[in-house]
Structure 1
Amino acid sequence: MRGVFVDANESLAVIFERLQQPGDPKVRINRNPDLTPDEWPQVLDGAEIAVVDHTPLPTEIARKCTGLKHVVFLGTGARSYMNPEELAELGISVHLIKGYGDTAVAECTIALMWASARVIALMDREMRAGQWLREDGMQLTGKTLGLIGFGGIAAEVARIASGSGMRVTAWNRTPKSHAGVEFVSLERLLADSHVVSLHLLLNDETRGFLSRERIAAMRPGVILINTARGALVDEPAMIDALKSGHIRHAGLDVFNIEPLPADHPLTKLPNVTLSAHSAFRTPEASENLIAAAWEHCRRVAKG
């Protein structure tokens, strides 16, 4: 059985090579993180396993990938890049990797929250332009953080936020309990939270979950943090709420269009702090990620 890591950046390629063990299935590394979807068939060249970081795999392209049986997606958000159900009909299984970057993403969530509360990015931009801008920030100690969705990442966010003196509430689609976290209705969470952070998986049920109506139900002056998926939010409604001030500030690591175009409306708003879908990118998380990818490859090769 043969595989290809189709779109490895250099740092992931080095880790992938280092973690290979004797007896592992042969997996060739394509060091091209800018692979286009049309290049899939040529790069795979009949391989049965594809390890993929971020390159979309449209179903019509997958039909041309003769021999492909398994896609090992480096993360949990495969639906942003492919349709697992349609691929399954072609006999292609999609394998996800969970939990590898819970702490990394949680720390980025907290960083975006604090940067948003203290308007750090705006002051940095203004000072570089020669302006001595002094903005009042939001003091977060004693404030309420509302977590929408509660898995491993949200649990880490709750741990860090509780340690900084915040009250943590959460809503989850299935009942859960967690020490130090009060689980409440979605309506109460939206109304009470000074900061709302999204931690839902993207699927057909959660796409557009934070709708215009739910944004309107949020506490005026709320801070919104999204390190999950851009499509969870009604983007035009969020932009309108940012312009009106209903949303005080947004800290965003994920977007409907990635890379985010330079002329996108979000780049023009002063009350938005942006990061380039990099919440999970730490050496520790990358090590966990690639180790798990190899385990998938080994398991698949053994049948």
Structure 2
Amino acid sequence: MATIFLDCFDDMLPLWERVRREGDPAITVNLSPGQPDDVPALLEGYDICINDHTYFDADLLARCTDLRRIVFLGTGAASFIDVAAAERLGIAVDIIKGYGDTTVAEHTMALAMAAARGVARMDAEVRDGAWRQIEGVQLLGRTLGIIGMGGIGKEVARIGTGIGMEVLAWNRTPQPDSPHAMAPLEDVLAKADILCVTLVLNDGTRGFLDRVKLGRTKPGVILVNTARAAIVDQEALVALLRSGHIRHAAIDVFTQEPPAKDDPLLALPNVTLTAHAGFMTPEATMRMLRTAIDLAIAGGG
């Protein structure tokens, strides 16, 4: 079966070449920093596409008449693909799990620390000629709340424990053998000083942290989201940031990427932002790309 990497970008190409092996079938690489133009024409004659950031709604999927499988680079396929429509059309969707658990967890904790100490704000002020020392939050002995104890959540817990934080976690399915303290969601929300969102986005988690749940968080909490923006009610989050109930939010994911210029998160001083880069290390990217090639080969078999 013919395979195309639909939307590779320049920085990823050298890593793609490094993971290719002698004997791999030919895979066409289309370089596209954004949504490629005329996707149906690009996919004509291809049964399988590897997809990094192209949005496939139901209409676009229906117009890609040769397509039979999409290998999505990551776990959050539902953010980029109408998975239900793909199933109706007989298009299989593969995701890649575990490739960046440590990388994303490290980014999560980096954001938590930056938010706790006002790093981004002080950096901007010093560059602008100001000299103001912002009081921070010491993390030793504080409660690290984790919502979602998959691979990333477990790594966040490991790192948090290593720096002396008390881990309190919740997962959608019970984890009786977890080495970390598990608790009802209400307790995690109420007790966490740092609250990390590490859930997978699906129909059961979309809008999960709504106004009511966010309102149950501890006053002065720091919220870190390296999962998916759609898990958190942004309107409620912004309101709680403005009121000061949420001390700071550190966000790596947005409802629109890149975010619109009028996204209210961009205007708030108590928000630290990164460009959906939690997974971006050579180690994680190479593991992801190699797995994508293997899935494409298996799907073509």
Q: TM-score, normalised by structure 1?
A: 0.96
Matching of residues 122-133 of structure 1 within 5 Å: 122-133=121-132
Aligned equivalent of 2:106: 107
Deviation at 1:185, TM superposition (A): 0.4
Q: Residues of 1 paired with 2:105 and 2:176: CA distance?
A: 19
CA contact (8 A) 2:34 2:53 kept: no
Identify unmatched segments of 5+ residues in structure 1.
none
Shift of 1:180: 4.1
Q: Distance in 2 between matches of 1:40 and 1:20?
A: 25
Q: For 1:194-233, what aligned pairs fall within 5 Å after superposition? A: 194-233=193-232
> What is the alpha-carbon distance in structure 1 between the residues aligned to residue 211 and residue 124 of structure 2?
30
Displacement of 1:35 in angstroms is 2.6
Cα displacement string for residues 133-175 of structure 1 (whole angstroms, at most 9, x for unaligned residues)? 2111011100001100100001111111101000001001110
Query: Aligned equivalents of 2:216 and 2:241: distance in 1?
Result: 14
**Correspondence list, 1:271-282, <5 A:** 271-282=270-281
Does the 8 Å contact 1:168/1:180 carry over to 2?
no
Counterpart of 1:7, as a letter, is: D
Determine whether 1:88 maps to 2:87. yes
Instruction: Determine what percentage of the aligned residue pairs are the same residue.
Output: 47
Most deviating of 274-283 and 60-69: 60-69
Aligned 8 A contact 2:3 2:27 in 1: yes
Contiguous gaps of at least 5 residues in structure 2: none
Determine the C-alpha separation between the residues in 2 that align with 1:106 and 1:177.
Answer: 22
In 2, distance between residues paired with 1:58 and 1:14?
30
Tell me what 2:256 maps to.
Answer: 257
Aligned partners of 2:59 and 2:17: how far apart in 1?
31
Shift, 1:19, TM fit: 2.5
Preserved CA contact (<8 Å) 1:8 1:32: yes
Task: Assess if the C-alpha contact under 8 Å between 1:72 and 1:94 holds in 2.
Answer: yes
Tell me how far 1:261 sits from its aligned partner.
Answer: 2.0
Report the 3-state secondary structure (helix = DSSP H, G, I; strand = E; otherwise coil) of the residue aligned with 1:94: strand
Corresponding residue number in structure 2 for 1:15: 15
Distance 1:163 1:178 in 2: 20
Does the CA-based 8 Å contact 1:197-1:225 persist in structure 2?
yes
Residues 1:255 and 1:178: Cα distance change in structure 2 (over 3 Å): farther
Where does residue 148 of structure 1 map in the other structure?
Answer: 147
Which sits farther off after the overlay, 6-15 or 136-145?
A: 6-15
Structure 1 counterpart SS, 2:53? coil
After TM superposition, the runs of 4+ consecutive aligned structure 1 residues lying more than 2 A away are 11-26, 177-180
Q: Aligned equivalents of 1:130 and 1:11: distance in 2?
A: 34
Q: For the Cα contact (< 8 Å) 2:15–2:282, is it kept in 1? A: no
Please give the secondary structure, in 2, of the residue aligned with 1:169. strand
1:239 aligns with 2:238: yes
Deviations 1:201-225 (A, max 9, x none): 1112111111111111000000000
Asked whether the 8 Å contact 1:25–1:301 carries over to 2, the reply is no
Alpha-carbon separation, structure 2, partners of 1:223 and 1:269: 14
Q: Are the counterparts in 1 of residues 35 and 53 from structure 2 also a CA contact under 8 Å?
A: no
1:178 CA drift (Å): 5.2
Do the aligned partners of 1:12 and 1:290 also contact (CA within 8 Å) in 2?
A: no
Q: Which residue of 1 aligns with 2:73?
A: 74
CA contact under 8 A between 1:25 and 1:297: conserved in structure 2? no
Are the counterparts in 2 of residues 100 and 285 from structure 1 also a CA contact under 8 Å?
yes
Q: What is the CA-CA distance between 1:256 and the residue it aligns to? A: 1.0
Alpha-carbon distance between aligned partners in 2 of 1:174 and 1:180, rounded to the nearest angstrom:
15
State the TM-score, normalized to the length of structure 2.
Answer: 0.97
Paired residues, what number? 301
Question: Structure 2 CA distance, aligned partners of 1:68 and 1:43?
Answer: 11
Residues 130, 178 of structure 1: alpha-carbon distance in 2 compared, 3 angstrom cutoff: farther
Q: Who is 2:292 aligned against?
A: 293
Q: Is the 8 A contact 1:41 1:65 kept in 2?
A: yes
